[in-house]
Structures are given as C-alpha cells and as structure tokens.
A and B are shown apart, each in its own frame.
Chain A
Amino acid sequence: MEKEYILTAKDLVQSYDGRTILNHLNFKIKEGEIVTVVGPTGCGKSTLLRLLLGSELPFSGEILMFGEEFKSPDKTRGIVFQKYSLYEFLDVKTNVMFGLDLGYFNLFQNILVSFAPFLLRKKNRLKLKEFQEEANQYLEKVGLAEHKDKYPFQLSGGQRQRVAIAQSAIPNPKILLMDEPLGALDVSTRESLQLFIKNLWQETGQTIIFVTHDLEEAVFLGTRLIVLSQYYKDGNGNGAKIVKDIAIPWAEPRSAEIKYSPEFSQIIKEIKQEGLDKNYLQSVEEFDLSHPDSII
C-alpha cells in the first residue's frame, strides 16, 4: 500500500528540548507531484524537510520511501538549502558537476581511504569530459553558461540559487527537496526561477517538495499544497499540524500570467480565509483541523 507512494509520513512527531515542534503529521506523496509546504515562520517547515531528507531522525512516527525506512541522507533525495548549499571553494561548473563522480567506495575502502587520502581516485579523464559536457548543458539551462568559471562569491543571490538547483538536480534524485530556495530574492528573479523550476519539473518528472512562506508562490508552483499551523502561541503550544492539504487544480504548463487572473486571487483568498490568516493570529486550539489525508 505504502509502496505506491514515494514518501509516506506516519504520525510524524519531532521535538527539541521537550518542546514539540511537529505534532503527528500524516501525509502521502505520489510520484511526480510538486508539493508546496507553507506555514508561518518558525512553525517547523525546515524541520520537516530535514526529517524527509534523513539528516535528522524523528522523535516518533516514521517516514517511508516506497514503503522502506531510511536513516540518513542519500542519493535518492536531493536538497537545495536556503544557504550553504554551494561549495565556496569550487567554481560554478565544478559545483554543478560535483555529484557526478562520487561514492564508489565500499565499507572497507571507506575506512581505508579516510586515513590514506592519497588513495582517493582521480577523476577519470574520459569521463571528466562527459561530466563537463553535462554540467555545461545544465548551466545553459539555468542561464549561467557565461558564469561557469566564476566562484560562488562572485554571483548574485539568484544566480547562486540557480547553481544550487542545478547541482542538486544533476545526479537525478527521485525527490528534490527545496527549503525556501527563492526566499531572499527580488520579485522578478523569483518569478523567473519559479518558471525555471516548473520547467525542470516538466522535463524530468521529478517529485519536488518545496517549502516557502509565500502563499502565492506555493499556489503557483504546487500541484498540491500543505499548510502548517503555528506551533505555539505565547511560548507554549502543542506543535504544528497540517491545517490544509489540498490539490491545486490548475492546468499545466502554467504561465506566469495566471498569477494575475481573478481565479488565482480567489484561491489565495479562500485559503487565507479558511486558515492561514487565523494561523498567524489565533492559537492552535481554535483551528478546525481538516483531515490529514484529505487530498481534494
């Protein structure tokens, strides 16, 4: 049953220092969806992503990928952080092709080579050409071909995020997790990157989980929207819950214009009226929690 779903979260709870941050989250994600997660700041969106990635283990409950548990990050789930995704000491093209020639050690070799770095294999010359070509293609796609020899510090925020997205997408993970990758960008850069992500998704058909605090972005990008509630009020509370989990019925491919259509603002309005606004203002207890598994 769970094997059909790429990700299944069952009664997911996370707490730090005895404070519950995420309170019994349940959801199932099908392959090929773009799930956007919104919620007020500090509600635990990044925490949720870390759990889905496997870089952190839940307090209780479980996360399954095709019905199987995982205990640490691996190649099947890529991530774009809001910050620190890029390797500052590598130039753009090396950053992008970083994931192409890694992970060829077994357990014994892992230990041996850890203490004997001179055994670390040099990149295969022939393959290196292939990798470079692939990286160049990706850089072309993200529109950074002429910046490929620069270092990350020489790029603008938007360019950096584009490199980060290319870097995480190039090894072709099954799921791409993104933690507010467009958070610090201006409106127009944001818009073009939203379209870029949309295109990428259409080309590769990857599952994407996209965290943001911008509702419009979430509605525009997602095929499905999950809204988390505020996790506490006045310093105490019982953790964030899913207050809304809806499908976004919009034809693909979407153009940027739909953002300015009346239907779009209508949807935003409804979501706000139904929960998100109260979310910021009222305590969690007042919410009428919609059923966690309800996919409209």
Chain B
Amino acid sequence: MIKQILKKVIKWLGEFFVEIFNIFRNFFKLRTTPGKKVSPFLVNLIFVSAILFYGIASSKRHEVNPKDKLVPTFGMMWTAVKSTVFIPKIEYKFNDSTGERMSYIGPETLRQAISQDIKDYKEGKYHSIFHPINSAMFFKGSTFFEEKRSILLRDGATRNMLNHGESKILKDSIVSGRIVLKAMGLILIGIFLGLYMGIFAYIEKLLYRFVLYFDKIPALAILPILFVILGTGEITKIALIVIGVAPTIILDTYLRVKTVHDEQIVTGLTLGASTPEIIYKIVFPQIFPEVLNTIRLNFKSVILFLLAAEGICANAGIGYRIFVAQRTTDMATIIPYVLLISLAAFFVDWAFRSWIKSYKWLNK
C-alpha cells in the first residue's frame, strides 16, 4: 500500500522534473505545449513574483520612512479595504417627526457584530436559520407564522449594523455598475443598427459614412459639451460610454454581416426564407459569437470612459473614489479599488469567453 503510494509520488516527481527540464529545452521551440504539471506554475509565476516584489519593496520603504504613502504595505491596504468593505460607516439618523436622534447602539465593528450574533444564536435567542419563518424577513410585518423568537437575519446585530451604516465600496460599485449596465443596454441597440446596415443597402448608404465619422470623434473631447447639455448626472456618463463605444460595435457588426457568404443568403432564399428569417435565422446566429467577442474586447473602453466621466463629476462611484483618493495620494484606497475593477473586468471577460465557448459549432 505504502509502496504503491511511494511509487506514484516518485513517478509524479519524475514527470514533473522532466517537464521542468523541458521548459528550458523547448522554450523557443515552435509547435510545442508545456506539460500539464508545470502549466499552473508558469501561469501564476508572474503574478506571484509581482506580489512578492511589491511586498518586499513596500516593507523596505517603510523601514526607511514609516509614513510613506506611495507604496503602502499589505497591512495598510488591508486596513483600507476593511474601512471600505467591512466596517460600515455608522450614520446617526434623526426621527423626522420628533427630531430626536436615533443613535445606533451596538457593536463597533462587523466582527464584533457577527460574534455577538453567533453567541446569541447559540443561546437560543433566535429561531433556527432553517425555520421557515426566516422567509418572513422578506415580508415585513408578516404574521403568518407565530414569532416566538426573533429572526437572526432580520433582527440580528449584524443586520442592525448594516442598516445603520453603509459600505463605501458596495455603494460605489452599485452606482458604477448601474451606469455600465444601462450603457451596455444601449450598446446592444448598436448591434442591431450594424446588422441592419449590413443587410439593407439603403440603411447602409444612410448611416455608414456618418457612423464612420462619428467613430473618429474622441468621445472625451465632447465630454464638456455633454456636461452642458445633459447635466452632471448619471445620463451624461451613460452618454459618454455609448458615444465612445457604440460606433465601434456598430461598425464591427456591420463588417461581420458583410463577411457572411452570399451563398448562405441565396440558399436561404431558395429554401423560401423571407427577409426577417434571412436576418434572424441565417445572418445573425452566425455572426453573434463574433459580436460577443467584440463587446468583450470593448468592455475595457467602457470602463475607461466610466472612470473618466466619474473622475470629472460625480459624488459616488468607483472612478470618483479613485480620483478623490488621488488628491490625498491615498494609495491604500486606490490599489484595492483598482484590484476590484480589474477583477470585475476579468470576470466579465471570463463570462463572455465562456458564453462564446458554449457555441459548440464554432470549432475552436
């Protein structure tokens, strides 16, 4: 038994060393694939070394100057992250009618709140979290179930604390996320515009030159005009993103339609397809994955325009927070936010890639 395991380990190690040796032997070789065992190592190598390098550099700097703000240590970043994510800002509210201060009484940090909840739960102050009455938290004032005890998720210290405070990063993400979603929705319309341009020759004549020109306008240059016309609200930011990204999407979709072989459309006609069927059953399905890919690649521009607009005029949002932090060289805030955006963008990218991969006919 042990012998077998030992054998396996030795075999694995042997293969591993061969693969490591192959890294050096095949590094510049064409038409080769790195081994399965060293691949994860190679994939993460630069990530890990960058983090290590940063950690060492920041701690060295802090040995010299403990007040250094430019290269915060991981500890400082962690505190900053906690102050944006984990420690809700406690707001003191006033009762509208009496003007009485409704101060928040309870634990100071989230950790304390959670441990208090756990303690109370164990002591039996709350219903079991598996009790159906937990759903009552969604229906305020529901009397369907008899409430013998309190409900943890509704009356617990954690919930109470969250109700009285706010998470900066959550608020910023929601504000920015809403803008991005709305802009993406409008950009979707651009896809159809490109589709019609590619299919109907007259729409092409009407729009092609115009969109081509529009695409060349640097969107940031007309941001001041947008502020004047549309005000400083959400709509200006959406407009900036749409103006910046939609022409690219329209033109790309148009070009994709143009690459559809005429034989495909002619075959459709001989099979009896009518115009909408040619559009939505023949042309659109075959360009759709490529259009998705274009959106994926342009998501970066979406973020860029979002940050630019929020940096100039906003009172919340990821871009706003970064630019505020920039004024005080608050690297410990900027870096977590940058990480958040890049992770979000990476996730969106991954989602799009798996969506595209789910089209089995693409043969990639």
Contact = CB atoms under 8 A, between A and B. Distances in A.
Interface of A: 53, 55, 72-75, 77-79, 81, 83-85, 87-91, 98-99, 102-105, 109-111, 113-115, 117, 120, 151-153, 167-168, 171, 173
Interface stretch (B51-59, B225-233, B261-269): B261-269
Given A84-B261, A110-B275, 15 more contacts: A55-B266, A75-B271, A84-B264, A84-B267, A85-B263, A87-B264, A89-B285, A103-B277, A104-B274, A105-B276, A110-B274, A114-B279, A120-B281, A151-B360, A168-B271
B261 to A, nearest CB: 4
B273 interface: yes
Residue among A78, A84, A167 with most chain B CB within 10 A:
A84
B280 A73 contact: no
B274 A105 contact: yes
A88 B361 contact: yes
A163 to B, nearest CB: 12
Contacts of A91: 361
Interface of B: 196, 261-264, 266-277, 279-282, 285-286, 359-361, 363
Given A77-B270, A79-B267, A88-B286, A120 B359 contact: no
Contact of B266 (A53, A89, A90, A110): A53
Contacts of A78: 270-271
A221 B360 CA distance: 37
A81 B276 contact: no
B263 A81 contact: yes
Contacts, number: 98
Given A87-B264, A87-B282, A87-B286, A173 B274 contact: no
Given A84-B261, A89-B359, A151-B360, A113 B276 contact: yes
Contact of A153 (B270, B272, B275, B361): B361
A99 B272 contact: yes
Contact of B270 (A75, A109, A113, A114): A75
A83 B270 contact: no
Nearest to B286: A89
Chain A to chain B: the 7 pairs with minimum beta-carbon distance, closest first: A99-B271, A103-B272, A84-B263, A113-B276, A73-B269, A75-B272, A105-B274
A78 B269 CA distance: 9
A105 B269 CA distance: 13
Interface of chain B, main secondary structure? helix
Nearest to A179: B263
A81 B267 CA distance: 8
B196 to A, nearest CB: 7
A115 B276 CA distance: 8
20 contacts: A55-B266, A74-B272, A75-B270, A78-B270, A81-B263, A84-B263, A84-B264, A85-B263, A87-B282, A88-B286, A89-B361, A98-B281, A103-B274, A113-B276, A114-B279, A117-B276, A151-B363, A152-B361, A153-B363, A173-B270
B270 A53 contact: yes
A168 to B, nearest CB: 7
A150 B273 CA distance: 23
Given A89-B359, A98-B271, A102-B271, A120 B277 contact: yes
A84 B272 CA distance: 17
A267 B67 CA distance: 99
Contact of B267 (A88, A113, A168): A168
A113 B279 CA distance: 10
A218 to B, nearest CB: 23
Contacts of B285: 87, 89-90
A55 B279 CA distance: 17
A75 to B, nearest CB: 4
Interface centre among B266, B267, B280, B359 (most CB of A within 10 A): B267
Contacts of B263: 81, 83-85
A115 B269 CA distance: 19
Contact of B277 (A73, A79, A81, A102): A102
Contacts of A168: 267, 270-271
A113 B284 CA distance: 14
A167 B276 contact: no
Contacts of B286: 87-89
Given A84-B263, A89-B359, A114 B271 contact: no
B196 A115 contact: yes
Contacts of A89: 285-286, 359, 361
Nearest to A112: B276
